[in-house]
Structure formats: C-alpha cells, structure tokens
Copies of this chain bind each other. A is one copy, B any other.
C-alpha cells in the first residue's frame, strides 16, 4: 500500500510532556480513531497512528480499549447513538407529517454530510464480511432505529392523508441512500469539486423530488 503520512494530530502541541488524563483519553482516542479509520478503513488503520493522533503512545490505547476491534466498535457507538437520540426527539413534536419529514431529512443530512460521520456506515459496510457481528449489531441498534423513526413519521403522514401508500421499508431506503452516498463523494478530492454542485442543491433536489413522489396532494411547483 502506498505510504501515507501519519494522521496529523487533532490537538497535539508538539513535545507535550506525558500527562495523566484518565477521563479525557477515551473521547480523544475515539476521535482520533474515527479520523484514521475514515481515511484508511479498518484494516489499513494503524494503532500507532491513532495513538499519535490522540497524543499518546501506542501502549496507552490498549489501556482503554482491549483490542483494535473493541476500539472500532466503540467508535461506531460513540459516533452514532447520540444522533439517533436527537432524531427520536423529533417525534415529540406534533407538527404536520410533511413538515416533520423535512426536519428528519434536515437532521439526517447534517449528520451524513459530515465527512467523519459519513464514514461510519461506509466502514461498517466495508467490514461486514470480516466482522459480521459488528454488522449485525449495527443493523440491530442503528438501522432498525432509523427505520422505526422514519416509519413513525411516515405512518403519521398516512393517517393525515398527505402521503401515498407504499412499502415503508423501501421508502426509507430510498430516502436515505442519496444522503449516504453524498457523504462518500464529498471526501474524494477532485470528484466533488469537478461535479461542482454544492451539497445544499443536491439535498434540496433530493428532498423535493422525494416529497413530490410521496405526496398525495396535486403538485404545485415554483
């Protein structure tokens, strides 16, 4: 594999003397790990680089996470679960369903256009063959929750009579796929720039087309 310079530390003033910071380490390690994993993938990520990124030595990483795989799992959980909680909070809002759906899109897009966070599904997917249990966990605790969230909003729209009937699973995938993919393209140097459309236009077009396809009301466009 081509040599790549080690991941530049997130918050590393050089020659920092060693410090005991038991509480701060886990979060710093998770952040550094996500950065390295997102660039190199799981297998090609070096624990040495992750450690350097967090400003510690390699040995220290293993004081907090018992193995590379354990670190990988922890990264996924820490990066994803808070956003799911935030998403589910939306359901307590009793706005009309189409408005709720657009808010759901907006939140999802905020998460998935982040180049670090968008790496998570890509990583899980890429390693599904090597870590079937991680993929199963992800499906169980993330995908399922996302679908439930989307499904709840969709069901509300059906009751209100503003959405047309369709397979909710299919719709959910169709809603998410373009956002998941956008995250990937953004990080490729040259690709996104050449296509030269901004994320805003892309997401807005997607949401508009999707909502138009979903809607029962006769269309009125501007």
Is A189 an interface residue when CB atoms closer than 8 A count as contact? yes
Main secondary structure of the interface of A (DSSP, over half): helix
State the Cβ distance, A180 to closest chain B Cβ, in Å. 6
What residues of chain B lie closer than 8 Å to A133, measured between beta carbons? Answer: 2
Contact with B along A118-131 (1 / 0, CB 8 A): 00001101111111
Task: Check A135/B1 contact, CB under 8 A, given A177-B180, A178-B173, A210-B209.
Answer: no
Other A-B pairs, 8, CB within 8 Å; known A177-B177, A212-B213: A1-B130, A2-B130, A43-B44, A128-B187, A129-B187, A135-B191, A173-B182, A209-B214
Write the nearest CB–CB distance from A30 to chain B, whole angstroms. Answer: 19
Option from B39, B131, B174, B212 in Cβ contact (under 8 Å) with A129: B39
A57 within 8 A of B: no
Asked if B174 and A41 sit within 8 Å, CB to CB, the answer is no
Task: State whether A191 and B139 are in contact (beta carbons under 8 Å apart), knowing that A173-B182, A173-B185, A205-B167 are contacts in the complex.
Answer: yes
Query: In the bound complex, do residue B127 and residue A41 qualify as a contact, i.e. CB atoms below 8 Å apart?
Result: yes
A167 CB to closest chain B CB, in angstroms? 5
Query: How close is A199's CB to chain B, nearest CB, in angstroms?
Result: 10
Report which A residues bind B (CB closer than 8 A): 1-2, 4, 38-44, 69, 122-123, 125-133, 135-136, 139, 143, 147, 166-167, 169-171, 173-174, 176-178, 180-182, 184-185, 187-191, 194-197, 201-202, 205-206, 208-210, 212-214, 219
Q: Contact check: which of B171, B190, B195, B209 meets A213 at CB < 8 Å?
A: B209
B41 touches A126 (CB 8 A): yes
Of B43, B176, B187, B214, the contact of A43 (CB 8 Å cutoff): B43
Q: Cβ of B43 and Cβ of A205 under 8 Å apart?
A: no
Cβ distance A82 to chain B, nearest Cβ, rounded Å: 23
